[in-house]
Amino acid sequence: MTTIENKLADLAKKSAALEPDENTRNAWLNTLQNYCNNYINTLSDKPTFNQNTQLNLADLRIDNHKKTLDSLLKTYTKEVVDNGLKPSSGGHIGYVPGGGIFTSALGDYLAAVSNEYAGIFYGSPGAVSMENELTNWFKDLFHFPSDAVGNLTSGGSIANLIALTAARDAHQIKGEKIEKSVVYLSPQVHHCIHKALRIIGLEDVIVHHLILDENFRIDHIKLEQQIKVDLQQGLHPFCIIGSAGTTDTGAIDPLDILGDISKKYNTWFHIDGAYGGFFILVDAKKDAFKGIEKADSLVIDPHKGLFLPYGLGAVLVKDKKAVFKSHHYFASYMQDAFTDDILNPADVSPELTKHFRGLRLWLPLKLHGIEPFIACLEEKLVLTEYFRNQLSALDFKVGPLPDLSISYFWYPTDEKALENKFNETLMTEIHKDGTVFFSSTVINGSYVIRMALLSFRTKKETIDKAIEMIKRCLARTKKQLDI
């Protein structure tokens, strides 16, 4: 053989490890299957939160020392799984969790093995068509027109970025117009909205944080009054942002009225339904979402309301031209791939290289049907009511009845000045315990404990376990503060 042939043979031999034989694959899959089964089977017995941050970084460092899969799984457990939050646990009710249903993991496995490219129809007609059919289902669900465009994103942050970029371009907010343009939103809007405005060059727009009613929904009367004042001052009302489920209090803004106001004043109407949007599937909640179809753009997160693992958001936008203005691009090296009659995901997103995310949703919907998802959503609403009742029986105060499954509570004290300190100390004790995880927030200057019920694994038994933990932590807090 020639020198180059010898070199190629040597390189092929060394690189062959990247293509393990079937026996090796089966052995690894068997090891991984046993690990995953044990993880799921014991999940409810493990703490949901461990504050430990002292990791053995040497075991995580890339040092070219090969390890067995068994030893690596032990490292994964010790350094990753056993520390911080367990979002896959039903006890994760502090932030809105990504659920992690098993059939979605199967979809991810298939997508990774086949490595389908879901950015352009030419590359994988089936993958792109599957994702387009999922967005068509979203359009039907939220009563969007068939000619609206949609995209499956990594989450709500990128989905909101796409939507607000389209709003910017549809209203031509650029140059000197930026500083005179006004965005109207709730003080409780998700912070990714503010990040998106900065990223797309609208850091200097005027942002009005609107007055809320007693249920933490946008006061539409005050909104319209503010728009009139802004018009009198020569400003440009540009975008109204409503929430279909705020992350602090679970409130749904008056979407129907906001839609009418937006149309009246020719603004872009955007709705962030990342957390709460899929509750529209529950019959008892459909009326709360009236007007969602009036939005110019909508964000929803299947990795929240459909209980998938983290990594799947979605956006719908009615103005295709506005979306294409920012994201459609022609490159000569890709001239074979372009077609006019199929929507390419790469044309409506910053991503060209695009993971085949659709399979993680398509497979569960096809295997389970939609009914279990609806039942799970309804269950979370009932559990929220049950939890609030149990807390009230322990003399806790609870916030107003939430629209969805996020609420808050606090323990009252005789001295108001002590109340925040007491609840902050209680929160610390809850985190130390770690059986069930809660988070905190500040509502009208008061420190409160926040609960967000959305994991498909959160059941009545979880809430009962949480109540027992709260009793323990409450007793310790009273003793610590001598109350």
154-212 pLDDT, tens digit per residue, is: 999 999 999 999 999 999 999 999 999 999 999 989 889 999 999 999 999 999 999 99
What pLDDT does 411 receive? 97
> What number of residues does the chain have?
483
C-alpha to C-alpha distance for 302 and 104, rounded to whole angstroms: 11
When pLDDT is averaged across residues 18-30 and rounded to a whole number, the result is 96
C-alpha to C-alpha distance for 263 and 258, rounded to whole angstroms: 9
What pLDDT does 333 receive? 59
C-alpha to C-alpha distance for 35 and 81, rounded to whole angstroms: 12
Per-residue pLDDT band for 116 (boundaries 50, 70, 90) equals: very high
The domain defined by 108-368 carries CATH number 3.40.640.10:
yes
Residue intervals in the chain for CATH 3.40.640.10: 108-368
C-alpha to C-alpha distance for 302 and 307, rounded to whole angstroms: 7
Using CA atoms, how far residue 73 sits from 34, 136, 346, in Å, is 11, 40, 36
What pLDDT does 334 receive? 66
In the chain, the amino acid numbered 241 is: I
CATH of domain 371-480: 3.90.1150.170
What pLDDT does 230 receive? 97
Least confident span in 253-267, 354-368, 382-396, 405-419: 405-419
What pLDDT does 331 receive? 66
- Residue predicted with more confidence, 55 or 198: 198
In the chain, the amino acid numbered 481 is: L
Per-residue pLDDT band for 93 (boundaries 50, 70, 90) equals: very high
Q: Would you say the pTM of this structure is higher than 0.85? A: yes
CA atoms within 13 A on the CB side of 251: 21
- Other Cβ atoms less than 10 A from the Cβ of 437: the count is 26
pLDDT at 416 over 80: no
Residue intervals in the chain for CATH 3.90.1150.170: 371-480
Least confident span in 223-237, 306-320, 343-357: 343-357
φ, ψ (nearest 5 deg) of residue 314: -155, 150
Q: Where are the alpha helices (DSSP H) in 265-358?
A: 302-305, 320-327
Are 298 and 315 within 8 A, CB to CB?
yes
Q: Where are the alpha helices (DSSP H) in 16-99?
A: 22-42, 57-60, 69-76
What pLDDT does 337 receive? 64
Q: Following DSSP, what letter does each residue of 148-208 receive, concatenated?
A: -EEEEESSHHHHHHHHHHHHHHHTT--GGGGGGEEEEE-TTS-THHHHHHHHTT-TTSEEE
- pLDDT tens for 325-366 read 988 776 665 666 666 678 888 889 998 888 899 999 999 999
φ, ψ (nearest 5 deg) of residue 185: -155, 165
pLDDT at 253 over 90: yes
C-alpha to C-alpha distance for 128 and 337, rounded to whole angstroms: 13
Over the chain, what is the mean pLDDT? 93
What pLDDT does 140 receive? 97
Taking alpha carbons only, the member of 69, 80, 72 closest to residue 31 is 69
What pLDDT does 169 receive? 96
When pLDDT is averaged across residues 125-137 and rounded to a whole number, the result is 95
Q: Return the percentage of the chain with pLDDT > 70, whole number.
A: 98
Least confident span in 121-130, 173-182, 257-266, 273-282: 121-130
What pLDDT does 53 receive? 83
What pLDDT does 309 receive? 94
Least confident span in 3-7, 17-21, 345-349, 413-417: 413-417
Q: Given the structure tokens 């990040």, which residue do they identify? A: 195
What pLDDT does 483 receive? 77
- pLDDT tens for 270-308 read 999 999 999 999 999 999 999 999 999 999 999 999 999
